[in-house]
Every structure is written in structure tokens, then in C-alpha cells.
Amino acid sequence: MTRAEKRAASGLAAIFGLRMLGMFLILPVFALYAEDLPGGDNHTLVGLALGMYGLTQAILMIPFGMASDRIGRKKVIIFGLIVFAFGSFVAMAATDIYWTIFGRALQGAGAISAAVTAMLADLTREEHRTKAMALVGSTIGITFAVSLVAGPALNRVIGVPGIFALTGVLALAAIWVVKVWVPDPADSHYHADAQANPAKLKDVLRDGQLARLDFGIFALHAAQMAMFVVVPVALKNSGLAVDQHWAVYLPVLLGSFVLMVPAIIVGEKRGQMKPVFIGAVALMLLAQLGFAFGIDHFWGIVWALFFYFVAFNLLEASLPSLISKLAPVSAKGTAMGVYNTAQALGLFFGGVFGGWLAQHHGFQAVFIFCVVLMAAWLVASLSMKAPPAIKTRMFRVGVMPADQAALLKAQLAEVAGVVEAVVLAEEGVAMLKVSIKGWDEAGARSLLDTAAA
């Protein structure tokens, strides 16, 4: 990657990180804070406050991305960050649970994910885009882990209103990153690998393999949000002071990472991703059973959290990779758009339904609901195709007539090791799915060089 590409990738990853840090920091402490808010004794409303962010995010994510095509990436991103910051300050000043819900809705309305992803595509070459996307993804994962530990500590110092205020300040700091650090894209283009295309939506929705993964990310994040309606309260009820909750989250997170990394390596390097993936879903099912029967006992919660985070980290890391491998190469951006929307809807549904169950049927019912979700996901996963041992390569070939693009596509499809070839005439890009080992890169480059000449 060039220096400009590294700067763009690091800057946009920082924007994601600053924004998500504020979102994640409240997860381990909000349910406890809400107990002292008017209306906060209703777990349904607490769940709605946690999940409302996901609903407005799901509704506005793709429209924000489309708007960035028309009026510019930076303008949309800055506007979204301002809306997000305003929502944070509304939540900070909220005097009851209803104003908090409104603030969370505004936070989600700053739905800049698609615009940031599109801008990342504008500022990186095709062959380095996967690295840039991986940097963003890893930043979000690290931010989540840090937040679970830092949230209880910050709560002791500044309280949840202070955390909301910090969230707003971080969003404003992200605006500075956009304006000063991130380069200006020369032009905003459509990128099939990074942006949703409504014309491809029907094909993506009809794909049974992708539907399994979309249901998976929905279920994973529904369970995540439902869990944080209950677990902080259960830890406090077990006798652990709120400002000591980090002492539970830190070791279980560290232990989960120790187990996750070898499993990912085995799955990717040895072509065993399907059994690793199914094993992680099964482990998540066991973790939810552990919560269901151990939620009233401190060590039951700790062990369930440990197995939960092992499974969660494995699944969160592997799902985007599986989407990329199983989606048609010309519809990868659309597949990711559907995937991200399903994730946001899962946050909303899990918060609302988990809160309702906690309010009317008790904490155990929340995890029985999660058990049902995970059991359905496990059954669906058993029949999914084993992900092929492939990678995606992209090459710039220049804009060309449609007939020349069709000929090049046919020629590339005949190259040894090429699983799928697509040439986008108007974008001037060739996208190939190729075998990880043994593909004829020299032969493909010869054809591409000739076409680009």
C-alpha cells in the first residue's frame, strides 16, 4: 500500500473506532444506569433503548451510502457524525428512559458505515482493498473488547451521562480526522466490491447460502443485545460491585482470544472453515444454555461469558470472510450491504424482545430465546456449503466496450485456478475469484496487460 492508502485506511478505521467506542462503552453498564431513570425499571424500555440504534442504522445505512455517491463522501460522513454527536448529547441530558431512547435513535440515524466503506474503496487500489477493509474490521473488534473493560471503569468516574458526552466528543473528534487526516478522493465511483447495488439485491436475497449467513449475523447480534439487557444486572445481583465488572470481562476476553486465533488459523489454512464455523455455533448454543441455567450464580455467569466470547469472536471474524467467499464476485458489495442491515436489525430485535422477555418472563426466558435462535442457526449451518479455498483478486484494466469486456471475461475464465471472472466494463475493473494455491497468475496478468494496453 502507498503512503496515501495507509493514511486513508488508518484514518477511516479511526473514524469507525471512535464512533463505535462510544457505542460499545455503554453496553456493560447501561442496564444498571437505567434502573435509576424514570421508566428504567421496565426492561422492555431498557432493551428498546439499547436496540433503537440498530433500527435507525438499518433504515438509513444504504440511503446514506447512495447520498454519498451524489453529493460527496466527506459531506455525508461529516453530517452523519454531527447527527450521531447530537444524539449522544441528547442521551447525556436525558431525564427519563424515553429521551434516552430518542437519543439512541439519533445516534443510529448517523448511519455512515456504507459511506465510509465507499470512501475507503475510492482511496485504495483494488489489490489492496481487502487489507484496508480488514484493518477497519479489526479496529471494530478491538474497540469492542476495550469497551467492555473500560466501560465499568469509566462509569465509576464519569457515569453513563459522562460516557454519552464522551461519545459525542469522540464523534466530533472523528470529524477532525475526516477533514484533516483522510485524503480527498478525486472522484466518487461505484465499487461493486464495496457498495450495495439495488439491481443485484434480488439475486442476493434469493441465494440460500448467503441467507444462512445473514440469519447468522442477525441471531448473533440479537443474542448480544439481549445478553447486555440482563448480564450486567445479574453480575450486580451476584454481589459484584459495578466498578469491578471489568475484572470479569478482561480475563474472559483474553482467554477467548487465545482460543480463537488457533481455530481461525486451522480453519483458513487447512480448508476446515465449515467444521470450525459449525463448532463455534454449537459452542454459542452451549453458552446460551449456560446463561439460562447459571444466570443466578456468579461462576455460572463467568463460565458462560467465557464460552460466549470464544464463540462470538470466532463467528464475528469468520462471517464477513464467508460472505466474501460465497457471494458472486460482482455482487459482493450488495451481499455485504444485506449482511450489515441484518446485523443492525438483530441489534434492534434482540434489545427489544430480550427486554420484553426479561420484563414479563424473567432473565432465564431471555436466554431460552437465545437458545432457540442458536439452535435454528446450527440447523441451518449444517447444510451450508463448505467455503471454497479461494481469494478475490482485483485488477484495473481501464474502461472498455462491453463486447471487449465479455471477451476478456471468457478468456480469464479459462485460466487455470480461476473459479469466477467478472469484468466491469464501465468501472474498468476485472474481479477474479481464484484458488489460494496453484492459480496461473502469470497467465491472467498477460491477458489483463494486453486488454489494458
350 Cβ contact list (under 8 Å, min separation 6): 47, 51, 221, 222, 223, 224, 225, 226
| Domain at 438, CATH number | 3.30.70.100
Structure-model confidence comparison of residues 70 and 291, the more confident one:
291
Task: Look at residues 364, 451, 349 and name the one whose alpha carbon lies nearest to residue 399.
Answer: 451
Judgement on whether residues 63 and 175 belong to the same structural domain of the protein: yes
Mean pLDDT in residue range 20-46: 88
Task: Look at residues 295, 289, 282, 182 and name the one whose alpha carbon lies nearest to residue 236.
Answer: 295
Judgement on whether residues 212 and 341 belong to the same structural domain of the protein: yes
Q: Is 80 exceeded by the pLDDT of residue 350?
A: yes
Mean pLDDT in residue range 10-38: 85
Judgement on whether residues 285 and 304 belong to the same structural domain of the protein: yes
The DSSP element (H or E) to which 404 belongs, if any, is helix 402-413
Structure-model confidence comparison of residues 278 and 387, the more confident one:
278
Determine the pLDDT at residue 316. Answer: 85
Looking at residue 362, what DSSP letter applies? -
| DSSP H helices in 362-396 | 363-382
Structure-model confidence comparison of residues 126 and 390, the more confident one:
390
| Secondary-structure percent of the chain, ordered helix, strand, coil, rounded to 5 | 80, 5, 20
Percent of the chain with pLDDT strictly greater than 90: 37
Distance CA 146, CA 135 (A): 16
Look at residues 387, 402, 431 and tell me which one is the last residue of a structural domain.
387
Report the half-sphere exposure of 301 (CA within 13 A, side-chain side). Answer: 22
Q: Looking at the 3D structure of the chain, how many domains does it have?
A: 3
The DSSP element (H or E) to which 190 belongs, if any, is none
What would you measure as the largest C-alpha separation in the chain, in angstroms? 71
pLDDT confidence bin for 292, thresholds 50/70/90: very high
Indicate left, alpha or beta for 215 from its phi (over 0: left) and psi (-120 to 50: alpha). alpha
Structure-model confidence comparison of residues 123 and 159, the more confident one:
159
Mean pLDDT in residue range 419-447: 81
Look at residues 334, 369, 387 and tell me which one is the last residue of a structural domain.
387
Q: Considering the entire predicted model, what is its pTM? A: 0.85
User: Taking a C-beta distance cutoff of 8 angstroms, is the pair 108, 53 a contact?
Assistant: yes
| Domain at 319, CATH number | 1.20.1250.20
Judgement on whether residues 304 and 395 belong to the same structural domain of the protein: no
Judgement on whether residues 307 and 219 belong to the same structural domain of the protein: yes
Determine the pLDDT at residue 448. Answer: 82
> Residue 348 is part of which domain span?
196-387
Determine the pLDDT at residue 298. Answer: 94
Indicate left, alpha or beta for 394 from its phi (over 0: left) and psi (-120 to 50: alpha). beta
Mean pLDDT in residue range 193-207: 77
Query: What phi, psi does 436 have (nearest 5°)?
Result: -60, -35
Looking at residue 436, what DSSP letter applies? S
Which of the residue ranges 113-127, 218-232, 439-453 would you say has the lowest mean pLDDT?
A: 113-127
Tally Cβ neighbours within 10 Å of residue 399. 11
Q: How far is CA 361 from the centre of its chain?
A: 30
Determine the pLDDT at residue 189. Answer: 65
Judgement on whether residues 57 and 184 belong to the same structural domain of the protein: yes
pLDDT digits (tens, 9 = 90+) for 57-105: 999 988 888 888 788 888 999 999 999 999 999 999 999 999 999 999 9
Judgement on whether residues 183 and 201 belong to the same structural domain of the protein: no
Determine the pLDDT at residue 225. Answer: 93
Distance CA 22, CA 237 (A): 26
**In the numeric block, which cell numbers belong to residue 133?**
477493509
Distance CA 403, CA 423 (A): 11
What's at 122, amino acid-wise? D
Determine the pLDDT at residue 141. Answer: 77
Mean pLDDT in residue range 35-60: 91
Judgement on whether residues 100 and 238 belong to the same structural domain of the protein: no
Determine the pLDDT at residue 347. Answer: 92
Which range is most confident: 6-15, 233-242, 256-265, 282-291?
282-291
pLDDT confidence bin for 195, thresholds 50/70/90: low
Judgement on whether residues 104 and 233 belong to the same structural domain of the protein: no
Look at residues 371, 387, 403 and tell me which one is the last residue of a structural domain.
387
Mean pLDDT in residue range 7-33: 84
